[in-house]
Chains A and B, each alone.
Chain A
Amino acid sequence: MDLGSLLNALILGVSIASIWLIAALGLTIIYGTAGVINMAHGEFIMLGAYSSYMLQFYLGLPYLLCLPASFVIVALVGLALERGLIRYLYNRPLDTLLATYGVSLVLMQGVRLIFGSDPKYLAVPEMFQSNVMLGSASISAFRIVVLGITAFLVFALWLLFYKTRFGVQVRAVMQNKEMAASFGINSGRIYMMTFALGAGLAGVAGALFGVLAIVLPTMGASYVVQAFLMVVVGGGSLAGSVVASGVTGEMQSVFAFFTNDTFARFIIFVLIVVFLRFRPQGLFAQAGARR
């Protein structure tokens, strides 16, 4: 074992972390704001991948434009779902869980009916297909794209939540819904917009994951577990998910360097269970009374 390859593992860890984080962003925002555990998050990711596939295959849209387009499409799906179903269930956490689980099955089967079960592929520009050297580590250029987009989204979300009037409204509703309402904030509208935003973020993740792996109706399931873990470990806040993804991504990479991927994952899951045993509220527990 030499220092150079450990450094490579650390660099690779950042990339893994960014993938875990972008999968968790939408879930974090919906859970952190409205307290809804969105079981359909994985299928929102899947819809993002299929949106990009459709736009690319039928309309010939360049890949980089598919990313924002997938955001918009899946955000609209999220909006429709919130208006049509979720908004009636905000005071009933168990029912939202079941309802969103039902929605996830419908989405998965619906996509299977339309597109079949055979894998689809997303094409990316030539320049993203090469490998680049980061220090002494060779890493695919597309993983750098994922990292860059994740960083951009985290920054944009931070701006949105901490530097805009919309952000003040969201954080006010999170802390004290009654006081927010007493000062003119329509919490229903805030929940609606954050749900759409969270769905849109899942859409972007899907458009990226469709390139990292193949596009399948069941692809959501493979990302959603990690996403949930990041949200739970982080405590439901944006900062929490960032730190949780960073730490677990690095651990995954370093453990895998000493052992192998599967074993590394096993260790991480065990560590997370132990962590949650002692800190069930997660890294950065959210203060305030959510309804």
Chain B
Amino acid sequence: MSTLLNFENVTSYYGATRILKDFSFEMEQGQCLCVLGRNGVGKTTLMRTIMGLTDRSTGAIRINGAEISAKPPHVRATYGLGYVPQGRGILSDFTVRENILLGTFARADKASEIPDICLRIFPYLKENLDKRAGLLSGGQKQQLAIARALAVGPQILLLDEPTEGIQPNIVNEIGEILKMLNKELGISLILTEQHIKVARKLGDAFLMVDNGRVVARGPIAEMTDELVNRHMTI
């Protein structure tokens, strides 16, 4: 196994405020890395730092050994990053089809069709390709956001709270889909999750964040209840 993504002493800013502080970790090819922590500790900021969407960052960020921290977001995307942001980031004036097509602009192979996989796992989207995305429900938008990220043909899916605001029975469904993407298609996942159960089921490794710093990390088996209680209960 080789290192896919690597952060070395990354500090990330909004304005003059440091949000991520001296952040270091690495993840292996094919892994599912769960990022955990209370509200406001910097999980979303980590995702945005990977995409290059914070105001500024220092330190080194590498994908397959290539340093990307000086590259703008639209170039980083082409390294195979499929981003599913918190709040989903659906373009509501676009149709479902156009939203998925948006993902294809970051493809390494420049293909301009919607890949089969996007519609195969989300039949609802397949039947509503010409519907305005603004009219979808929250759960449907989440499916769309995942389909759009898959259209990139990603090496890594960045999933920021994919189960947030989704009814419990669908949470499992999304968990199953993510597991399939990870285990069968070999797409690496970085996942922020409030549901510890989902994290334990999917994760190979974890990263516990508190106040913008990595406070614990390791294989998921080492994520003890004591650790969870210390850093996640309010």
Show the binding face of A for B, using Cβ within 8 Å.
Answer: 165, 168-169, 171-172, 175-176, 178-187, 287-288
CB distance from A191 to the nearest CB of B (A): 13
Of B93, B101, B105, B107, the contact of A175 (CB 8 Å cutoff): B93
Asked whether any CB of chain A lies closer than 8 Å to the CB of B51, the reply is: yes
Of B77, B91, B107, B112, the contact of A172 (CB 8 Å cutoff): B91
A175 and B112 contacting across the interface, CB-CB below 8 Å: no
A185 and B53 contacting across the interface, CB-CB below 8 Å: no
A185 and B74 contacting across the interface, CB-CB below 8 Å: yes
A interface SS class: helix
Query: How distant is the Cα of A45 from the Cα of B51 in the complex, in angstroms?
Result: 41
* Given A182-B51, A183-B103, A171:B93 Cβ within 8 A: yes
B152 and A183 contacting across the interface, CB-CB below 8 Å: yes
A-B pairs under 8 A by CB, number: 71
* Given A168-B102, A182-B85, A287:B77 Cβ within 8 A: no
In chain B, what residue has the closest Cβ to A177? B73
Query: How distant is the Cα of A179 from the Cα of B144 in the complex, in angstroms?
Result: 14
A175 and B91 contacting across the interface, CB-CB below 8 Å: yes
Query: How distant is the Cα of A184 from the Cα of B102 in the complex, in angstroms?
Result: 9
A288 and B53 contacting across the interface, CB-CB below 8 Å: no
Q: Which residues of A contact B91 (CB under 8 A)?
A: 172, 175-176, 179, 288
Asked whether any CB of chain A lies closer than 8 Å to the CB of B28, the reply is: no
B72 and A184 contacting across the interface, CB-CB below 8 Å: no
Q: Which 3 A-B pairs have the closest CB atoms?
A: A184-B106, A181-B73, A184-B105
* Given A168-B98, A178-B53, A183:B93 Cβ within 8 A: no
Asked whether any CB of chain A lies closer than 8 Å to the CB of B13, the reply is: no
Query: How distant is the Cα of A134 from the Cα of B78 in the complex, in angstroms?
Result: 56
In chain B, what residue has the closest Cβ to A184? B106
Interface centre among A168, A169, A287 (most CB of B within 10 A): A168
Of B73, B93, B98, B107, the contact of A288 (CB 8 Å cutoff): B93
Q: How large is the interface on B (under 10, 10 to 19, 20 to 34, 35 or more residues)?
A: 20 to 34
Asked whether any CB of chain A lies closer than 8 Å to the CB of B83, the reply is: yes
Q: Which residues of A contact B93 (CB under 8 A)?
A: 171, 175, 287-288
B105 and A185 contacting across the interface, CB-CB below 8 Å: yes
B53 and A172 contacting across the interface, CB-CB below 8 Å: no
Query: How distant is the Cα of A284 from the Cα of B107 in the complex, in angstroms?
Result: 33
CB distance from A173 to the nearest CB of B (A): 10
Q: Which residues of A contact B39 (CB under 8 A)?
A: none
**Which B residues between 100 and 129 are near A, CB-CB below 8 angstroms?**
101-103, 105-107, 112
A180 and B112 contacting across the interface, CB-CB below 8 Å: no
Of B103, B112, B148, B152, the contact of A165 (CB 8 Å cutoff): B112
Asked whether any CB of chain A lies closer than 8 Å to the CB of B94, the reply is: yes
Q: Which residues of B contact A186 (CB under 8 A)?
A: 72, 74
* Given A183-B103, A184-B106, A175:B94 Cβ within 8 A: yes
Asked whether any CB of chain A lies closer than 8 Å to the CB of B92, the reply is: yes
Q: Which residues of B contact A172 (CB under 8 A)?
A: 91, 94, 102
| Residue contacts A-B, CB under 8 angstroms, 19 given | A165-B101, A165-B105, A168-B98, A168-B101, A171-B98, A175-B91, A175-B92, A180-B74, A183-B77, A183-B103, A183-B105, A183-B152, A184-B77, A184-B78, A184-B105, A184-B152, A185-B105, A186-B72, A287-B92
